Amino acid sequence: MVQSKTGVNGGRAFWPSEAQVHYIFAMLKPARSSRRITIPAALSAAMVLLAAASAQRIQAEQGAEGLSQPRIRVTLLGTGNPRPVISRFGPSILVEAGNHKFLFDCGRGATQRLYQLQISFNEADALFLTHLHSDHTVGIPDLWLTGWVMGRHVPLRVWGPEGTAAMMKHLEEAYAFDVHMRRDLDERLPAEGAAIQAHDIEQGVAYEQDGVKVTAFTVDHGVVKPALGYRVDFAGHSVTLSGDTRISENLIRFAQGTDVLIHEVLDLEAYRAADTTYTTAQIEKVIAHHTTGEEAGIVFSRVKPRLAVYSHIVPPEAPNVIAEARKHYAGPLELGEDLMSIEIGEQIEIHRAGK
């Protein structure tokens, strides 16, 4: 079941009862049977399961020892693109699984969002990059150096496609003066906090520890190569992040069975009307290596996640992407917002920041 919460005092919105039955029973994985469940029976079972799940959630929220279930929490730190708008910060997603906190991409404002959420920079020390476009990497110096100034005393660990290690090495060179001053002469900050451990990776398992597995896979971002998507698995749950891509058969393959699929999107009509910087030819090139709302609907229909979410939204105002996806996909779908969080467990809960 997918549950949505809006604002601090907002109401809760549930998907239709038939969707509730489908997602609850899908998670329980009942034995196959040729006997068809009638609608009243299914709804009755759903109500019982909903009550039990709600009680369990309340106990977990009250901190009852041993009652909380392992889950993944995803927070959209920034859902935007290169445009420097306040409503959508640059692309960045925080994934918390077990005791691990991972950042995926580090666009404009990612550090401010972590500070806003009171996430310790010592804990958010692992960064995975989908590709090296500036809107996905421009926040790295801020995360690295401000995180150090604000108390990080462990190295910043970075994984990404070919070129990542070289980029991080050059950032160390570019900020050598600042590091030298703060480490050696002025505040005498711990040297380990200014260290960087960077790794170029290819498709495959990039990280696995404490039951958390991060798998990288290649996606199709047109001429922008290499480009990666990621899947995080923990305690029987998963989230898949598309990165920047047009329709990718490889993404569809790696996303099979995922609970939540977070996918980029481009509103075709709105983008053509809004972009006054590029020429017509440049606009069409951009469109050619992204995924339209209708194309995203095709991807969702083939992956069949418990929940689909749009992020990296082009342009920032994209009024058509939900309706476009509905031509092919009828399942739960959300237009991502900055600071929207998604709890992935036996239920999926969506929390939106107060307006």
At residue 266, the pLDDT reads: 98
Residue 72, SS3?
strand
* pLDDT computed for residue 172 by the predictor: 98
Residue 4: pLDDT band with limits 50, 70, 90? low
pLDDT computed for residue 6 by the predictor: 42
pLDDT in tens, 18-32: 333 333 323 333 333
Separation of alpha carbons 246 and 249, rounded Å: 10
Structure tokens at 12: 């809760």
Q: Which of 91, 88, 73, 316 is nearest to 221 (CA)?
A: 91
Give the mean pLDDT of the chain.
86
What average pLDDT score do residues 301-313 get? 98
pLDDT at 56: 42
User: CA separation (Å) from 225 to 103, 161, 202, 286?
Assistant: 21, 9, 12, 14
Catalytic status, residue 135: yes
Non-local (6+) Cβ contacts of 263 within 8 A are 242, 291, 296, 299, 300, 308, 309, 310, 311
Contact 124, 193 (CB under 8 A): no
Distance CA 123, CA 101 (A): 6
Q: Which pairing describes strands 307-314 and 333-335: parallel, antiparallel, or unpaired?
A: parallel
Provide the pLDDT for residue 246: 97
d(CA 310, CA 144): 27
Determine contact, residues 291/227, Cβ cutoff 8 Å.
Answer: no
- pTM metric for this prediction: 0.83
What is the model's pLDDT at position 3?
Answer: 67
The predicted model gives 36-50 an average pLDDT of 39
Has residue 71 got a pLDDT over 80? yes
Helix, coil or strand: residue 137: helix
pLDDT in tens, 239-269: 999 999 999 999 999 999 999 999 999 999 9
C-alpha neighbours within 13 Å on the C-beta side of residue 111: 18
pLDDT at res. 70? 84
Written as six digits, the tokens of 194 are 């200014």
Q: Which of 135, 220, 233, 338 is catalytic?
A: 135
Longest Cα–Cα distance of the chain, Å, equals: 76
Mind listing the pLDDT tens digit for each residue in 265-286? 999 999 999 999 999 999 999 9
User: Distance between CA 273 and CA 355 in Å, rounded?
Assistant: 27
Residue 115 pLDDT exceeds 70: yes
Q: Is the peptide bond before 316 cis (omega within 30 degrees of 0)?
A: no
What pLDDT was estimated at residue 5? 53
In the block, residue with structure tokens 């604000």: 150
Question: Does the pLDDT at position 106 exceed 50?
Answer: yes
Q: How confident is the model at residue 354 (pLDDT cuts 50, 70, 90)?
A: confident
DSSP 284-348: HHHHHTS-BHHHHHHHHHHH--SEEEEEEEESS--TTHHHHHTTT--S-EEE--TT-EEEESSSE
pLDDT at site 2: 73
Distance between CA atoms of residues 23 and 317, nearest Å: 30
Higher pLDDT, 248 or 2: 248
Q: Please, which residues have CB within 8 angstroms of residue 64's CB and are 6 or more apart in sequence? A: none
Please choose, from the candidates 97, 120, 340, 127, the residue with its C-alpha nearest in 3D space to the C-alpha of residue 236. 97
